[in-house]
Chain A
Amino acid sequence: MTDAAVPLARKGSRAWRSLRRNPSAIVGAVIVIPIILLAVFAPVLPIADPNATSWTAIRLPPSAQYWLGTDEIGRDILSRMIWGARASLLAGVISVAIALVTGVPLGLLAGYFGGWVDMVISRITEALLAMPFLIMAIALAAFLGPSLTNAMIAIGLSAMPIIIRLTRGQVLAVKAEDYVEGARAVGLNHIEIMGRYILPNIVPPIIVQATLTVATAIIAEASLSFLGLGQQAPAASWGSMLNTAKNFLTQAPTYALFPGLAIFLVVVGFNLLGDGLREALDPREN
């Protein structure tokens, strides 16, 4: 029996076991999970209102009352960091979801049908790939108008060609397997073959790529917000906090430290998780 024909559930549990022993994945999870929890529970946490200003507490250094200090209009930086995590993680997850929802079906169609369908989709993918990720995201965000939602759409669409290309390549490999030939021989239609036999077997590499793309998307969202094309004031985002902080480097040096550190940690976390998943899901790595 070829590896691809191992039932998905069994393969999943094997991957889970190997994932739990994988040091990269563990460190990645240890970094990412607490940040996800903070972001999810931000509204119920006993923290200050992230948008409450105070003219008596402007650019204060970290203290017992303000653990990470306050910003240029007296808002609590810790609280804005936690709410900023929501924007970052949401942007990471939603833009990757957009990339998956659009990219996987296109890649499936291109790989499965081949011929002119493949030609058209592949040429479009190549043209999209010729425009650098961030440049395209900036251009899209500019034309759609600056907002977090548009930034997510822009990042998702910019990440889509990579997903199309990956899916197509995987489909080409799986399509030649005996069980797909068998499914065709017993007269299943294209949709059934793609949905029941091909898609489940190409999921692992797509999960790996999706996890790594979350990391890229988080940096992209922070970059767009830093440029003023993402999350709009007064809502908190790590990128826009850094944009403001860079104007107060001499007066409040710690202000620029924390949001960047947060982006760095989350991105390291997702990258480690992606590397760990790759090792756990790819039989060649074991």
Chain B
Amino acid sequence: MHIFIAKRLLVAIPTLLLVSVFVFFLQKLLPGDPILALAGEERDPVVLAELRERYGFNDPLPVQYVRWVAAAATGDLGISLRTGQPVLELIGQKLPVTIQLAVMALGIAFLLGVPAGIYAAVRQRRLGDHAVNFLALAALSVPNFWLGIMLILLVSVNLQWLPASGYVSPWENLALSLKTMIMPAVVLGTGLSATLLRHTRSSMMGVLKSDYIRTARAKGLSGQAVVLGHAFRNAVLPVITLTALLFGELLAGAVLTEQIFTIPGFGKLIVDAVFTRDYAVVQGVVLCTAAGFILLNLVADVLYVLLNPRLRSQL
């Protein structure tokens, strides 16, 4: 098992390095001189030349890259131009907020998507299946920022049940925190629930056709015992590992959701950074996101092997 994990880690490193190359050269796409942005109002050529020297802009690009990536590897992602804080510290502050949103959204997606997927698979190609599939298509097609706006209109403006924006830390006031986060979590969870539904459905459909299910039915077990006791246990495996791969979708959705509900998380951080031209933050966020994605892929691979006895015995 250790060898398996070590091998996967070795494959992950070149991918992460390539990502760092992209992220580094992203800044080189910028029209104009980055030194002018750093210098602010200062236009004295002597000062500019000194700044250029101090920040190492006179060195060849590969040298600049190596210096940047070496710093990044030790957690130094630069300083935010806007707040003067180290980028990593900023990310560390915002990430827990987004993780809370993401965990709640995933919880909602599981509660909606998995049972609906099982139902659709059992009612295969009948009315119930078609209805569930139609709902999934709608959930996948609705832009989540619009869903958010419509929910604010209905739940906050008209019914006045929940606050339309803001954030309360769960450590301060758990009940209030859940109350402010539930609507954003529903918005973010809707699209994910459709993805989970489709995967659960196709996974269940595959399992329901297998021989051991036929045997279980032949033994005279009730439909429910076969579906939940036998089929679901095997069908849910790929669904669990898929969850790790939903990370990208989750984060992208969080960017928009946080924007609508003014939640001070990771997604809002990147959008604000874009508008204030805080490029170190944009680069840091992209790099951390990619690292997170690669790590979760690794976790998904390991989980898949751990949860699957047949694969485990091959190690």
Taking beta carbons and an 8 Å cutoff, which residues of A are in contact with B? 123-124, 126-128, 130-136, 138-145, 215, 219, 222-223, 226-229, 242, 245-246, 249-250, 253, 256-257, 259-260, 263-264, 267-268, 271-272
A153 to chain B, nearest CB (A): 11
Check A268 against B137 for contact (C-beta < 8 Å): yes
Check B150 against A256 for contact (C-beta < 8 Å): yes
Which of B14, B248, B275 contacts A228, CB < 8 Å? B275
How far, in angstroms, from A128 to B283 measured CA to CA in the complex? 14
How far, in angstroms, from A136 to B145 measured CA to CA in the complex? 18
Check A268 against B149 for contact (C-beta < 8 Å): no
Q: Which residue of A lies closest to B283 (CB)?
A: A139
The verdict on B289 contacting chain A, using a C-beta distance below 8 Å, is yes
Check B271 against A138 for contact (C-beta < 8 Å): yes
With A260-B150, A264-B141 known to touch, is A128 a contact of B31 (CB < 8 Å)?
Answer: no
Check B29 against A143 for contact (C-beta < 8 Å): yes
A268 to chain B, nearest CB (A): 4
Q: Which residue of A lies closest to B250 (CB)?
A: A132
Check B286 against A123 for contact (C-beta < 8 Å): no
Q: Which residue of B lies closest to A215 (CB)?
A: B141
The verdict on B221 contacting chain A, using a C-beta distance below 8 Å, is no
Q: How many residue pairs between the two chains, A and B, have CB atoms under 8 Å in the bound complex?
A: 135
The verdict on B140 contacting chain A, using a C-beta distance below 8 Å, is yes
The verdict on B188 contacting chain A, using a C-beta distance below 8 Å, is no
Q: Which residue of B lies closest to A228 (CB)?
A: B275
The verdict on B143 contacting chain A, using a C-beta distance below 8 Å, is yes
Contacts of B138 in A (CB 8 A): 264, 268
The verdict on B249 contacting chain A, using a C-beta distance below 8 Å, is yes
How far, in angstroms, from A145 to B146 measured CA to CA in the complex? 25
Check A242 against B270 for contact (C-beta < 8 Å): no
How far, in angstroms, from A140 to B150 measured CA to CA in the complex? 29
**Of B110-118, B205-213, B236-244, B251-259, the one touching chain A:** B251-259
Contacts of B277 in A (CB 8 A): 142
Q: Which residue of A lies closest to B28 (CB)?
A: A143
Q: Which residue of A lies closest to B267 (CB)?
A: A135
**Considering only CB atoms and an 8 Å cut-off, how many residues of chain B contact the other chain?**
51
Residue-wise, chain B 10-46 has the 8 Å CB interface mask toward A (1 for contact) of 0000111011011000110111000000000000000
Q: Which residue of B lies closest to A134 (CB)?
A: B252
How far, in angstroms, from A268 to B146 measured CA to CA in the complex? 14
Contacts of B274 in A (CB 8 A): 138-139, 141-142, 227, 229
Contacts of A142 in B (CB 8 A): 273-274, 277, 279, 282
Check A260 against B286 for contact (C-beta < 8 Å): no
A263 to chain B, nearest CB (A): 5
User: What are 16 A-B residue pairs whose CB atoms fall within 8 Å in the complex?
Assistant: A131-B19, A131-B22, A131-B289, A134-B255, A135-B255, A138-B271, A143-B282, A219-B143, A223-B256, A227-B271, A253-B153, A257-B150, A260-B146, A263-B143, A267-B141, A271-B140
Which of B15, B22, B143, B251 contacts A260, CB < 8 Å? B143
B107 to chain A, nearest CB (A): 21
Contacts of B289 in A (CB 8 A): 131-132, 135
Contacts of A132 in B (CB 8 A): 247-249, 251-252, 289, 293
B189 to chain A, nearest CB (A): 17
A266 to chain B, nearest CB (A): 9
Check B146 against A130 for contact (C-beta < 8 Å): no
Check A242 against B146 for contact (C-beta < 8 Å): yes
A123, A227, A259, A263 — most chain B CB neighbours (10 Å): A227
Check A143 against B286 for contact (C-beta < 8 Å): no
Not counting A256-B150, A257-B150, a sample of 18 additional A-B residue pairs whose C-beta atoms are within 8 angstroms of each other reads A123-B14, A126-B15, A127-B21, A127-B290, A128-B22, A138-B274, A139-B285, A140-B26, A142-B277, A223-B143, A223-B145, A227-B256, A227-B271, A249-B149, A249-B152, A256-B153, A264-B146, A267-B143
A126, A139, A227, A268 — most chain B CB neighbours (10 Å): A139
A274 to chain B, nearest CB (A): 11
How far, in angstroms, from A219 to B283 measured CA to CA in the complex? 24
Check A131 against B153 for contact (C-beta < 8 Å): no
